[in-house]
Structure 1
Amino acid sequence: MKELVSIITPSYNSEEFIEETIQCVLDQTYENWEWLITDDLSRDNTVKIIQKYNDPRIQLQVLEQNGGAGNARNKSLERANGRYIAFLDSDDLWVPEYLETMINHMQKYKAELVYCNYARCDEHTMQPVLKDFHADRIVTFSNLLKTCRLAPVSTMYDTKRAGKFYFPIKSKREDHVMWLNLLKEIPKGYPLQKTLAKYRMRQNSVSRKKKNIIKDQYLVYKDFMGFSTVKSLYYTANWALNGFFKYSKFFN
C-alpha cells in the first residue's frame, strides 16, 4: 500500500487563489494524501471556498485568533498522520505529478529529504518573472547556513526517517530555522532537477523585502543557532549576498 502523505497548508485571506491551489492537489496522480489546512482567521471568503469541497481528505481547522503562518503550519503538523510531509501555501501550485515524483525520488536515494526546481511566477498571471530556481546541489546543514535553498512548495521530508519538525513561532524566518534544525539531524537532502512547483511572487510578501529582514536573519544565527556575534554577522552577510543573486536574475 502506498504511504500516506500529509500536505501542510496555512491559509489567510486567499480567496483570489485558493481554488486553483485546491484543484492542483485534487489533480495529483498520487492519491493517498491528507490535506491539513489551518486557516489563520481569514477576513475574506477563504474558509467558505474551502468548505465547498466535499472530499474527506481535506481537513480544515479555523483558528480563533491570528498567529502567523508558522503557527498555522504547526497546528497542521500536530494533526498530521502521514509518513511524508509536504508543504503547500494557499497561493502556490504543484504539477499533477509532484507528489508521485518526489516520493519516487526519495525512495530511490533512501533520502530523508528531497527538493526540486520551482518556477517563480507573477502573482496574477502565473507567468515566470524570474528564472526557475534550480535544485542543483545536495543540501547540508553547513551549506544551508549561507543560503536557504529549500522552499516549502518544493520540499518533502520523511518523518519515519527524520522525525517531525515544527516551526519556531518567534522568528520571522521560521522556514529557514526549521530546515536548519532538520538538517542538524540528517546528513543531507537530495536535489531533483525537475520543475514541479510554481511559487507565486506576491508584491506584498515579507520574504521579498530583503532589506527589512536582515536583522531577522541575523537572529536566525544568533538566537536560534546560538552562534557568536561575529559568526552570526558572517553568515548573515553570506545570506544577503546569495539572496541578491537569487532574486536579481530577471528575464529581460
Structure 2
Amino acid sequence: MSDPMVSDVTVSVIVPVYNCRSTIARCVDSALGQTLTDLELICVDDGSTDGSGALLDALTDPRVTVVHQANSGGPGAPRNAALEVARGEYVFFLDSDDWLGPEALERMVAAARENDTEIVIGRYVGVGRQVPVRLFRETVARTTIEAPVPDLYATLAPLKLFRRDLIKDLRFIEGLLSHEDQEFTATAYFRARGVTVLADYDYYFWVEREDGTSVLQRGGAPDHDFFPAIERVMRVVEEHTEPGPARERMLRRNFRVEIMPRFGAGYLASDDADRRVTEEGALALVRAHMTPGIAARLSPFVRQVAHCLEHGSRELLREIVAFAESGEVPALDVRDGHAYERTPGYGTLPDSCFDVTDRLPFKPALKALEWSGSRLVITGVLDFPHDGLSPLSLVLRDRRHPERELSFPLEGIAEFRYGLDLEGVRLERGLWDVLVTADFRGIPLAERLAEGEAGEPGLRFAQVAGAGQPTVRPYFTRVWRNLSIDAGGARGPEEIAATAQVERGELTVHGRIPAAGREAVTLRLVGRLRGDGATRGLGTTLAEDGTFTAVTSIRDWQIGIWRLDFEVAAGDAAARGSCVPVGSLESGSAGVRRKGIPYLTNGGKLAIKIADRPLMPRIVRRLTGQRRR
C-alpha cells in the first residue's frame, strides 16, 4: 500500500481567500514564482463578493487548485478544506494579503531536510505592522517550544512551513474571525521534535492593510468567541508542560498580548452588556490560569485589571482603562525603596498592583560607538521622565567575576558621552558587560547599554592583562543586543592591507592596522624568504590613527621571493598574520643589476620578488660584438 504522505509535490501552499481582489494577484505570483517549482497552490475562495473568485478561476498554471465554498465566517474552514486535498510533503500557510520572497520555499525546505526539523519559521518582514523581531536575531538550526530563546511562542500564526505528517490530523477552529490558528500552531509546536528558525533572508512579507479593513484591524473575533479560543490554546500549554518557567512564560504571553489588550478603547466605547461579556471572559481566564508567578512579571496595568475583575470593581476598572488610554505619564510615589504609580485606584487596591520598582523606564541606549585612537568613544541617550535621578556612571562588569567592576562617572543624562581609554585602562582578559547605573530617590538602577542606533566598530589591538590575544572587541549580545567587550579572546585580523613600492634599493610599505593608539602596541613587519626561512625586519613607524610606514634597504636581500608578514605585540601577547596588497604596487631597482617586484601571490598575499636584472641590450651587443641588423 502506498504511503499517502509520499508525493511528487514538495510543498502545498494554502491560501484562504475572502474579498482580497487588490492583493491576491501579488500573493499568488509570489507563490508561483518560487525557485522551488514542485509545489501546488491551493486557493480556497470563502464566498468572496468582490470578484476575488473570478481572478482565481482565470489562473492557468496547472499547479493551481481553486476551491469555492460558501462563506464560513473565518479563515479556519478554508484552510481545513485545503488540508483535505493537499498532497505536498510540506504545507505552507500563506495569507492572501501577504507575499513570499522568491527563494523562500526552497530555502525553508532545504533547512528542514538538513536539520531534520518538522517546522521552519522564516524571517518575517512587517509591511505596516510589527513582527516578532527578537525571534529572528539569528538563524537557529534546531530548537523546541520549551527553549526560552528563541521564543517560538512569540508567534502563534501558522505562517510557517510544516511537515504534513506532523499536522495530518490537526484542523483550525471554524467560524471564528480571528485567533482560530493559535491552538493549531501551539499543538504543532509541542508535537515537533525540532523547529528551525531562519534569519538569513526575507522570507515572509506580513502586511497590514492601509485601509484598515482586515479582520484584526477591525477588532477581530467578538469577545464571546475570542475568550474560548484563547482558553483552548492555554489548555494546550498546560497539558504539555509542567508548572514552572516555561509554562509561565507562555501563559504570560497570552495575558499580555491577547487577553488584556481587550481592555482598551473598544472596551470603553462598548455598552454595558458588551463590557460584561469582556469582563466575564477575561475573569474566567484569570481565575483558571493566572498564578502568582505569572502575575508578578506582568505590568501594573494587568495586575490592576485582574484585581478589579476578581473583586467586581467595574467603575474603578473603567477609570484604570481610561487613564491607560490617555497616554499620560503617571506620577510616582517612592517610599521604603519601592516606586509606585499614582494611577486610579492607588491607595485603594494593594500596593503590589502599582509597584513599578523593577519597571522604571531606565533604558539607556547607544547613539554612537566609535574608535578614536586608543579611546572607545561611547555616546548614549536616556529618556527618563521623572525628577530625582542622580548623575550617571558607566560600569564595566566582568562576566566571570561579577563582583569585579570598573566605574566611570558620566556627564549628562538625556545624552552622555565617555571615551574609554584603553591605554589608561588595561582590561583583564575576559568578557565585560557594559552598564549604566544611577540612583533614583534611593532606588539603585542598573541597566545594560543597548545597541540603539550604533553599529559594531570592529576590534582594536590593545594591551590586555593576562594571556590571550592583544585585542579588544566591542560587540552586541546575540539576543538582547546589549553592549559587551571581549578583551583578549577575539582573534585579530589575519591579514592587513598594504601598498608596496621599490625605489633606489629601498622597499617602502604603507598600511593601516586597527590599533588602539601607538602606545598600546608595537608593530613589526617581517620579510620571509620562501624555501630558505631567512627573515629580515623592516623598520616600522606606527601613527596614532593606526597607519604605518615601514622602510628598509633591500640591496642585500637574497634573490628569491620574500613574503611580507606582520606581528602586533602588546605585553606578552602577540598576533601574527600576512600582508595583502591593495592599490598600486610599484617595482624598482633593488641594487646593481637587481630588481624588486612587489606582487600578489597565488594565495593572495603580498610578496617581494628580488631578481637579477639583465644588462641593457646595447651593452650586451657591444660586449658580444653583435650588430643591429
Contact 1:112 1:162 (C-alpha < 8 Å) held by counterparts: no
Greater alpha carbon shift after TM alignment, 194-203 vs 209-218: 209-218
Correspondent of 1:197 among 204, 208, 217: 204
Q: Which runs of 5+ in 1 are unaligned?
A: 123-128, 245-252
List aligned pairs for 1:117-136, cutoff 5 A. 117-122=123-128, 130=130, 133=133, 134-136=135-137
2:36 equivalent to 1:30: yes
Question: In 1, distance between residues paired with 2:251 and 2:213?
Answer: 23
| Partner secondary structure for residue 112 of structure 2 | helix
Question: In 1, distance between residues paired with 2:152 and 2:33?
Answer: 36
**One-letter amino acid matched to 1:157:** F
| Partner secondary structure for residue 202 of structure 2 | strand
List aligned pairs for 1:127-146, cutoff 5 A. 130=130, 133=133, 134-136=135-137, 138-140=143-145
List aligned pairs for 1:162-181, cutoff 5 A. 163-169=168-174, 172-181=178-187
The residue that corresponds to 1:219 in the other structure is 228
Q: In 2 relative to 1, CA 184–15 (structure 1 residues): closer, same or farther, beyond 3 Å?
A: same
Question: In 2, distance between residues paired with 1:120 and 1:184?
Answer: 26
Question: In 2, distance between residues paired with 1:44 and 1:218?
Answer: 31
Displacement of 1:71 in angstroms is 0.6
Greater alpha carbon shift after TM alignment, 111-120 vs 161-170: 161-170
Greater alpha carbon shift after TM alignment, 72-81 vs 131-140: 131-140
Q: In 2 relative to 1, CA 209–44 (structure 1 residues): closer, same or farther, beyond 3 Å?
A: closer
The residue that corresponds to 1:105 in the other structure is 111
Greater alpha carbon shift after TM alignment, 67-76 vs 163-172: 163-172
Displacement of 1:51 in angstroms is 1.6
- Give the fraction of aligned pairs with identical amino acids, expressed as a percent: 23
The residue that corresponds to 1:52 in the other structure is 58
- Larger RCO, structures 1/2 (Cα 8 Å, 6+ apart): 1
**One-letter amino acid matched to 1:199:** W
Correspondent of 2:161 among 156, 175, 186: 156
Q: In 2 relative to 1, CA 173–131 (structure 1 residues): closer, same or farther, beyond 3 Å?
A: closer
Question: In 1, distance between residues paired with 2:225 and 2:189?
Answer: 20
| Partner secondary structure for residue 178 of structure 1 | helix
Correspondent of 2:93 among 87, 91, 112: 87
Displacement of 1:115 in angstroms is 0.3
Displacement of 1:40 in angstroms is 0.6
Question: In 1, distance between residues paired with 2:230 and 2:72?
Answer: 27
Displacement of 1:103 in angstroms is 0.2
Displacement of 1:88 in angstroms is 0.8
Q: Which runs of 5+ in 2 are unaligned?
A: 1-6, 262-629
Contact 2:72 2:174 (C-alpha < 8 Å) held by counterparts: no
What TM-score does the superposition give when structure 2 sets the normalisation length?
Answer: 0.34
Displacement of 1:130 in angstroms is 4.2
Contact 2:166 2:191 (C-alpha < 8 Å) held by counterparts: no
Give the structure with the higher percent helix: 1
Displacement of 1:218 in angstroms is 4.9
Q: In 2 relative to 1, CA 97–206 (structure 1 residues): closer, same or farther, beyond 3 Å?
A: same
User: Which string of whole-angstrom CA distances, capped at 9 and with x for unpartnered residues, describes residues 174-222 of structure 1?
Assistant: 2111011112322332111132110111333344577977886653453
| Partner secondary structure for residue 114 of structure 1 | strand
2:256 equivalent to 1:241: yes
| Partner secondary structure for residue 181 of structure 2 | helix
What TM-score does the superposition give when structure 1 sets the normalisation length?
Answer: 0.78
Displacement of 1:25 in angstroms is 1.4
How many residues are paired up?
A: 236
